[in-house]
Amino acid sequence: MLNKFLIGCCYYPEHWERNEMERDLDRIKGLGFNCIRMGEFSWSIYERTEGEYDFSIIAEAVEYAEKLGIDVILGTPTAAPPKWLTDKYPEVLAKAKDGTLMHHGSRQHHNHTSEIYLKYCAKITEAMVKRFAKCKNVIGWQIDNELNCHRKESYSETDDAAFRIWLEQKYGTIEELNRCWGTVFWSLDFVSFSQVHCPRPNPAHDNPSWLTDYYLFLSDTVVGFASVQTKIIKKYMPDAFITHNGYFENVDYKKLTRECLDFLSFDSYPAFQEKNQKALGRCVAYRLAQTRSCTEKYLVLEQQSGPGGQLSYLLPTPIPGQIRLWTYQDIAHGATGVLYFRYRTALFGAEQLWYGIYDHDGKENYRSREIRGIASELNRLGDLFLNNRPKHDVAIYYDYHNTCADKAESFAKSDARFIFGELNKKNVHADLISEDDDFKKYKVIIIPHITVATEELVQKLKEFNEGGGTTIISARSGVKDKNVRYRPSKAPGIFRNLTGCAVDWFTTLPAHESQSFIYNGKTYAVSDYYEMIAPEKADAVGVYTDGFCKDKCAISRYNNVYYLGFYSNTSADIYLDIIKQHIDYREPIAPNLEEVDMGEYTLYLNHGYESVDLKCHDIIKDEDIDSIPPFGVALTKREW
């Protein structure tokens, strides 16, 4: 699976005249592509009237693609139900938190808990899969499209009913739910599960345990929705891969991948970051790392190829060279295939401004010429990237349960993404891991403000440290149980023995005050929140500089475990300076140059607007170079 590097585009033959299809596919082949994705928004064409299926337009494209040697990934069309279905069964429609009903006219206006909708999704999926089961060039399936992209929550009657069932399966009795949620507070006690519902608007703040369970439930509805289609695809096409294109809110992608997919994929649109400041396209590395955390090899099923936009906005147009840079960035962070969105820009509909490889006129432009060049390179070098994979010494802990808990108690945001990005800029690349992953692969693990932690996680970290690994745990970690109830103990709660310290005093940082600390003779700033640490078995290795906590412990170290009693979402230098002591580290060549080691090679990505001096032999161009131009890329083989 994924034993050939895929390079291609998303193609919508239904958007163009039928007699243009062969010409379009010839041009796609002429770009150097070996793969296309089709079909994920065509339910109303496939089933114009209930139970009568017509897949002829996609079938023609699949058959002609096979003649050209082009592989096909088909999408199930369940992100946009036809009008006859929502008219006949209005109970399939999603509702907003304020009770507003979502109507036909866009996409993702259904909910994931309607048994009726699940039944019709199963029918269209089965009909489609059976039609293409014998097509040798249909190599895989994308389930739905960007689950929870637009409608990340739903509050319909079927959601309430499904939530009650989910809660009863989790807690068994209403008494246990009341205990775990602490419903005695503010007289929230329930007498039966029939009284419970999805959170609704309230005059004050919601119960955080209730909210956290709701977010966990939402993800499970997505997983259940996807599993219906997975079973059907596996039944009729066991050799085809199953994937999905993320990354959006209220989905536990590790669980989705584990239970429904062969691997996860990602949709990459760096211009969302580039809109406001230059060189922020490298921020996409975090989402790529999240995808890689679910599956070591994956696809980018939608790579931005034009400015991109919808009716209310238009993103910046990629500067010449930038699409190539983004493509190799995908590869540097684990992608083994890249499909550009889209072949040609639509003339109509809500995404008329979402530009593809070709503009509305369908003529050659600088983007099509650039992408043709990229495809030529990857058709020559693709196997190199299949066999030489990114491998990192540092990991940052991340799990969906803590994401839900952070949303429920959001006064202090996690700085995990900020730490990841700042380390990336300083030439320290990190994986994202969770409790079920192999910790032994790493030299350093960062635990960034995870309030919810288990005994099993503590034991894994203990074994990791005893094996020579270094752990960096930061403020407020380990203070809650799995029901997001505070533990009746001093922070860092369940990590207290592991860190050898306790928290004696803490505060949010008032706007009129500042705080900093000294570590190894260097001063660092604190942001948002900080704690005064009382070392028990640990040593104080960093102290505060100001106020009540002056000269008191800010950082403790016990064996291989550091505890950082503060948030650092304005500077991650302290993490870098600790990490540098425990890994082989090389300084970055230039601020905007991303350097990623892949096996015995290094890939250099210049995200900046200025050239970077670098003398090497660039394997991609097979020539010696003295510098990497703005948005340039170079691949070198490291000397051992």
Q: What is the pLDDT of residues 542-581, one digit of tens each?
A: 999 999 999 999 999 999 999 999 988 778 999 999 999 9
- Non-local CB neighbours of 143 within 8 Å, separated by 6+ positions: 75, 76, 78, 226, 229, 230, 233, 242, 243, 244, 260, 261
pLDDT tens track for 504-542: 899 998 888 899 999 999 999 998 899 999 999 999 999
Reduced to 3 states, what is the DSSP secondary structure of residue 299? Answer: strand
pTM above 0.85, yes or no: yes
Residue 625 in this model has a pLDDT that exceeds 80: yes
In the structure encoding, which two tokens stand for residue 214, read together? Answer: 């709701």
Architecture per CATH, domain 394-579, reads as: 3-Layer(aba) Sandwich (3.40)
Give me the amino acid identity at 266: F
**What pLDDT is recorded for position 1?**
78
Using alpha carbons, select from 358, 311, 367, 246 the residue that is nearest to residue 12. 358
**What pLDDT is recorded for position 639?**
72
623-628 vs 593-598, strand pairing mode: unpaired
What secondary structure does DSSP assign to 314-378, as a single string?
A: EPPPPPTTHHHHHHHHHHHTTEEEEEEE-SB--SSSTTTT---SB-TT----HHHHHHHHHHHHH
- Of these ranges, 251-255, 405-409, 413-417, 526-530, the one predicted with the greatest mean pLDDT is 251-255
Residue 29 DSSP code: H
Give me the amino acid identity at 145: N
What are the backbone angles phi and psi of residue 631, rounded to the nearest 5°? Answer: 60, 25
Average pLDDT, the chain: 95
In the structure encoding, which two tokens stand for residue 499, read together? Answer: 């860190």
Residue 271 in this model has a pLDDT that exceeds 90: no
User: Cβ distance 339 to 10 under 8 Å?
Assistant: yes
Residue 272 in this model has a pLDDT that exceeds 50: yes
Residue 279 in this model has a pLDDT that exceeds 80: no
Residue 448 in this model has a pLDDT that exceeds 80: yes
pLDDT tens track for 139-181: 999 999 999 999 899 999 999 999 999 999 999 999 999 999 9
CB neighbour burial string for 42-72, b if at least 16 within 10 angstroms, e if fewer? bbebbbeeeeebebebbeebbebbeebebbb
Residue 549 DSSP code: G
User: Cβ distance 606 to 592 under 8 Å?
Assistant: yes
The mean pLDDT of 75-86, rounded to a whole number, is: 97
**Residue 363 forms beta bridges with which residues?**
none
**What pLDDT is recorded for position 277?**
58
User: Cβ distance 181 to 209 under 8 Å?
Assistant: yes
CA dihedral 124→34→315→571, nearest 10 degrees, is 100
**What pLDDT is recorded for position 513?**
87
Reduced to 3 states, what is the DSSP secondary structure of residue 471? Answer: strand
The mean pLDDT of 309-336, rounded to a whole number, is: 94
User: Cβ distance 577 to 485 under 8 Å?
Assistant: no
Dist CA 13 CA 60 (whole Å): 10
Where in the chain are all domains bearing CATH 3.40.50.880?
394-579
CB neighbour burial string for 516-553, b if at least 16 within 10 angstroms, e if fewer? ebbbeeeebbbbbbbbbbbbeebebbbbbbeeebeebb
Cβ neighbours around 319 below 10 Å, total: 14
Residue 394 in this model has a pLDDT that exceeds 60: yes
**What pLDDT is recorded for position 510?**
87
Task: Name the helix (H) or strand (E) containing 245.
Answer: strand 245-246
pLDDT-derived band at 278 (thresholds 50, 70, 90) equals low
User: Cβ distance 593 to 615 under 8 Å?
Assistant: no
Residue 102 in this model has a pLDDT that exceeds 80: yes
pLDDT tens track for 229-248: 999 999 999 999 999 999 99
Helices (H), ranges, 42-145: 43-46, 56-67, 83-88, 115-132
- Non-local CB neighbours of 452 within 8 Å, separated by 6+ positions: 401, 402, 405, 480, 481, 482, 484
Residue 186 DSSP code: G
**What pLDDT is recorded for position 568?**
82
Dist CA 548 CA 532 (whole Å): 9
pLDDT tens track for 483-495: 999 999 999 999 9
Q: Estimate to the nearest angstrom the gap between the alpha carbon of 608 and the chain centroid.
A: 24
Residue 477 DSSP code: T
Residue 281 in this model has a pLDDT that exceeds 80: no
Residue 604 in this model has a pLDDT that exceeds 80: yes
**What pLDDT is recorded for position 231?**
98
User: Cβ distance 599 to 640 under 8 Å?
Assistant: no
**What pLDDT is recorded for position 415?**
85
pLDDT-derived band at 640 (thresholds 50, 70, 90) equals very low
Dist CA 325 CA 629 (whole Å): 11
9: left (phi over 0), alpha (psi -120 to 50) or beta: beta
321: left (phi over 0), alpha (psi -120 to 50) or beta: left
